[in-house]
Structure 1
Amino acid sequence: MAQNVQKKQSSRGMLMLVILWLAYVLFAMNWVTGSTLTPEIIKAFFKGPVSPLTMQVVNYSITLARVFANFLAAFILIKLGPKHAVTTALVLLMFSIIAVWIPNYWGYTVARMIMTLGGSMIIVYMNPVVARYVRTDRKIIANALNTVSYNFGAFVVALAFLFAGKFLRFDWQITLTVLASVSILYLLIWQLEAVNFNTKQDVDVGAHEEVHYGYRDAIRDPFVWHYSLGFGGFLFLYVLSITSLPSLFATYAPRVNGSLIELMVTGFGILGTVVGTMIGLTNHARKPILFWTGVLMILGSAATLIFAAKAPSLAYVAAGATGFIMFIMYPLYMNLPHEMPDMSPEKLTIIFGMFWAISYFVYTILNIIWSVILGNLGWTAAGEFWIFGSLLYLVFVLQLPETKPHELPKSMIKPV
C-alpha cells in the first residue's frame, strides 16, 4: 500500500516537472521570438530608425526583470508553498498576451517584464521539484533536461523562422499572441494536478531533518558568488549568440543567415546536452571539464564572428561546434549545487534564486556596455568586447569547489 502511494506521488511529481519544463520552453520561445521580430516591432512603434540601445531595451528589461524575479522566487515559495508559488509564476507569464496589444512601446516593454517575472520564477521552481521527487543518481538527467529547456525553445523558434520566416513576420502581433496563449493551458493543468510539499526537508538525509539556510546565509556564501558571477560571463556569450547577434548579421555580415547561425548553436546544443548528461552520470571530476569546455566555446564564438564576414560556411560550422561545447558544460554546471551536501528543496531555491539574479544582473550590465560600444565604436569593437566579457566564466570556474574530489589530485581540490 505504501509503495503504491509512493509511486503515485512520484508520478505526480514527474507530471509537475513536465509542466514546469514546458512552461519554461514557452517562455524561451516568447523571448526569442520577440527578439527575432524586433525590426517589425520597432517599425510598428517608431516612425524612423532608432539607436541600438533603444532596439535592445526590451532585452535589457527582460534581463533586469529576471534579477528581481529570482530574488523574489524563494520568498514567494516559502510564503505560498510550491503549488501556489508556481501558480503565481504562470499567471505572470500570461502577461505575454497582454503585452502584444498595448499600443505603446514602453507599455509593451513593461508587460514583457512582468512576463519575465513569471518565466524566471519557473526555472527556479524546477529545482525544489527535482530535489523532492527525483532520485539522487538521476538528478543530473532531470537537471540536464531543465537546462536544455531554454535551448530547446530557442531551437524551435530558429527552425520556424528559417522555414516560415515570411509567414511569421507578416503580423508580429498574431504570431506572439498565438504563442503566448499556450500559457493558459499550462495554468489550468497545473491547478488540477499540482500538490504542495515540505521544502525544508533534506531529502537525501531523512524526512525529519531540516536544513536551515536563508538569504543572509546565501549572501555570505562564497560559492553562491563564484557560481553566479561565472555564469554571468557564460550568459553574455550564449544569450547574445541566439538573440541579438542573429538579427544584427543582416546589417553587419549580410552574407550570413542569422537564423541559421541560431539554429546551429541551439540544435548542436541539444546534442551537447546528451554528452554532458552522460559525463554527469559518471564520477569524472567536474572542474577540468567546465574549464576546458569554457575555453573552447569562447574560441568557437570568436571564430564564428571572424568567419561571418569572410567565410559563411565556416561560420556555421563554428557556431554548431560552439553550441555543442556550450551544452556539454551546461548540465554539469547546473547540477553542482545538487551534488553538494546538506541540500533541501528550500535551500536549493534560495541558492538558485540568488544565482539567476546575480548572473542576469552581470549579463545585463555587459549587454548594455556591448550595445553602447556597438552604437559608438562599431561591430568589430563590440565583437571584441563580447569575447572579452565572456572570460568572466573562466575566472570564476577556477574558484568553484570540486564536487567529485576523489577523481582529482589533492592539490586541485578546493574545500566545499
Structure 2
Amino acid sequence: MPPKVIGPKRALSIELLLFFAYCFFSASWMVGSIVTTDMAQEFGVYTIPSSVNNAISAAKILGNFVAAWILLKLGPKRTVSLSCLLICAVVVGAFSTSFPAFILTRFLLGFGGAILMICMTPYVVYCFEPKQQPIFIGLNNAGPNTGNLIALLSVTAVRGWLGSWRSVILFYGIFSVVFLVLWLFVGRGYPIAEKAKEETLSSTVYRYRDGLREPFLYKFLFTMTGRLVMYTVMLYLFPLHPDFTVDAQFISLMIALTGIPGTILGIVLAKKLKRQITLFRFSGVAQSILFFAMILTNSAVLATVCAILLGFVIFISTPSLFTLPARLPGATPQKVAVILTLYWTGAYILQMIIYAIVVHLANTVSWTVAMMFTALYSLTFLVGTFLLPDFDRPAKQPPAGTSPQDGTAP
C-alpha cells in the first residue's frame, strides 16, 4: 500500500464531497430521463428516444475503460477534477439548439460520471482502514440511489417553479459546478504505487492485462449485470409506463426511497455478518420473487408493497458486494481501480444493449413484454450468487494427527 499522505479529517471531507458530486451526477441523469418527453417533442422526436440514456451508457463504457489509465497518468486529484468538469457539461445541455447537441452533452455527462465512480473506491481503500471500508463503500454505492431520490422527490416542484425542461436541467447542473469548485480547494491526491525502480515498475502497478486474467472479474460481471439492467429500467424507463397498475413514477420513487434504509442496514450487515454469501443469495431470491410479482399483479396494493420491498432487498446486499474487489488478494487502490474499470466497462456494454432491446419492446410490442424480458434477464444475479467467491468460508482444518504446515504426522 502507498504511504499515507491524507489525514483522517481530510479523508472524511473528500469522501463526503465525492459522494455528493456523484449524487448530483445521478440526479442530472434522472432528471434528463424524466423530461425526455418534453425535450424530444421540442426537437421533433415523437417516440421514447433510448439515445438519451444510451448516450450516457456509451460514455460510461468509454469512461470506465480509460478511467484507471487516466488515474495513473493524471493522479487522483486531477482525475476527479476532470470528471467533475465533464459532469458540468449538463449545464451546456440546457442551452442546446439541436437534439444531437443535447445528446453530446449527455455523453460528456456520462463520461465524467464513469471516471468519478472509478475514483471513489480507490480513495476509500487508500484513506480508510479495512474495518471502516465497508461503511464508506456502502455510502458510495448509495450515491446513485440518493441522487435518483433527490431528483424524484424534487423534480415536480422544480418543474412547476421553473417551467421549461431547459431550466430544470440547468438547476440541477449548477450543483455539479459548485462541487467542482469545492473539489479544487478540498481535494487531495495520493501516491498511485509504492516507490520503485524503473525496471520493477511493472510489478508495482496493477495493469489492465492483470485484471483481465482475474477470474473474479467475470463472475462479478455476470452476477451484477442482471441487477444493473433491472435497476436502470425501473428508474429511468419505467416512469414513462402509461398503463401500469399504479402510477409508474410512484413505483420508481418507492424503489429509490426504500433503497436508503436498505443501504443503511446493508452497511451494518457488511460489518456484522460472518458469511456475506448468505446475504447475497437471500437478496437474489427475494429480488426475483418481488420483481416478477410486481410486474404480473393486477393489485395496486401488492405492486406497491413489492416495489417497497424490492428497493430494500436490492440495497441490503450492495454494500457487501462492492467490498469484494477490495478483499481480493493483494488489493491496492490501483488494483481495485482496474478491476472496477473492467467490470463497469463490461457492465455498461451489456446494459446499453439490453436497455435498447427493452425500449424497442416497449415501443413496438408492449410494456408487459418489455418488463417480462427485464425480469428474466435480472435472474443472472440469482444464478451468479452461487458463482461468487466466499471470502468468509472457514479454513479447512487439517486431519487430526497431522501438522498444519505440511500435512504429515508430527
Q: Scaled by the length of structure 1, what TM-score is found?
A: 0.89
User: Which of residues 177, 180, 183 is equivalent to 2:173?
Assistant: 180
Is this contact kept in 2: 1:275–1:328, CA < 8 A?
yes
Give the structure 2 partner of residue 279 of structure 1. Answer: 269
Is this contact kept in 2: 1:285–1:408, CA < 8 A?
no
Is this contact kept in 1: 2:6–2:190, CA < 8 A?
no
User: Which of residues 182, 186, 195 is equivalent to 2:188?
Assistant: 195
Q: Which amino acid aligns with 2:208?
A: Y
Give the structure 1 partner of residue 82 of structure 2. Answer: 88
Q: Which amino acid aligns with 1:271?
A: P
Give the structure 2 partner of residue 378 of structure 1. Answer: 366
How far apart, CA to CA, are the structure 1 residues paired with 2:279 and 2:395?
A: 12
Q: Which amino acid aligns with 2:305?
A: V
Give the structure 1 partner of residue 51 of structure 2. Answer: 57
Q: Which amino acid aligns with 1:59?
A: N
Is this contact kept in 2: 1:201–1:345, CA < 8 A?
no
Q: Deviations over 1:269-314 (max 9, x none)?
A: 111111111111124212222122112112211222123xx22222
Q: Which amino acid aligns with 1:376?
A: T
Structure 1 residues 198 and 26: CA distance shift in structure 2, 3 A: same
Give the structure 1 partner of residue 207 of structure 2. Answer: 214
218-227 or 21-30, which deviates more: 218-227
Give the structure 1 partner of residue 146 of structure 2. Answer: 152
User: Which of residues 156, 170, 188 is equivalent to 2:163?
Assistant: 170
- 2:105 matches 1:115: no
Deviation of 1:42 after TM superposition, in Å, equals 1.1
Deviation of 1:64 after TM superposition, in Å, equals 1.4
Give the structure 1 partner of residue 218 of structure 2. Answer: 225
Secondary structure of the residue aligned to 2:322 is: helix
User: Which of residues 68, 71, 88 is equivalent to 1:74?
Assistant: 68
Is this contact kept in 1: 2:84–2:176, CA < 8 A?
yes
How far apart, CA to CA, are the structure 2 residues paired with 1:276 and 1:211?
A: 33
Q: Percent identity?
A: 25
How far apart, CA to CA, are the structure 2 residues paired with 1:168 and 1:119?
A: 27
Q: Which amino acid aligns with 2:13?
A: L
Secondary structure of the residue aligned to 1:281 is: helix
Give the structure 2 partner of residue 23 of structure 1. Answer: 21
Gaps of 5+ in 1: 1-5, 203-209, 411-416
Map 1:181-330 onto structure 2 (within 5 A): 181-201=174-194, 211-248=204-241, 251-253=242-244, 255-307=245-297, 310-330=298-318
Structure 1 residues 88 and 65: CA distance shift in structure 2, 3 A: same
Deviation of 1:361 after TM superposition, in Å, equals 1.1
Give the structure 1 partner of residue 136 of structure 2. Answer: 142
Structure 1 residues 409 and 337: CA distance shift in structure 2, 3 A: farther
- 2:34 matches 1:36: yes
Structure 1 residues 211 and 294: CA distance shift in structure 2, 3 A: farther
Structure 1 residues 153 and 110: CA distance shift in structure 2, 3 A: same
Give the structure 2 partner of residue 343 of structure 1. Answer: 331
Q: Deviations over 1:374-395 (max 9, x none)?
A: 2332122212111111112223
Q: Which amino acid aligns with 2:116?
A: I
Deviation of 1:326 after TM superposition, in Å, equals 0.3
How far apart, CA to CA, are the structure 2 residues paired with 1:190 and 1:71?
A: 23
Q: Which amino acid aligns with 1:175?
A: V
Deviation of 1:112 after TM superposition, in Å, equals 0.7
Q: Which has the larger radius of gyration?
A: 2
Structure 1 residues 166 and 212: CA distance shift in structure 2, 3 A: closer
Deviation of 1:171 after TM superposition, in Å, equals 0.9
Is this contact kept in 1: 2:61–2:344, CA < 8 A?
yes
Q: Scaled by the length of structure 2, what TM-score is found?
A: 0.90
Deviation of 1:227 after TM superposition, in Å, equals 0.8
User: Which of residues 347, 360, 375 is equivalent to 1:387?
Assistant: 375
Give the structure 1 partner of residue 403 of structure 2. Answer: none
Give the structure 1 partner of residue 94 of structure 2. Answer: 100
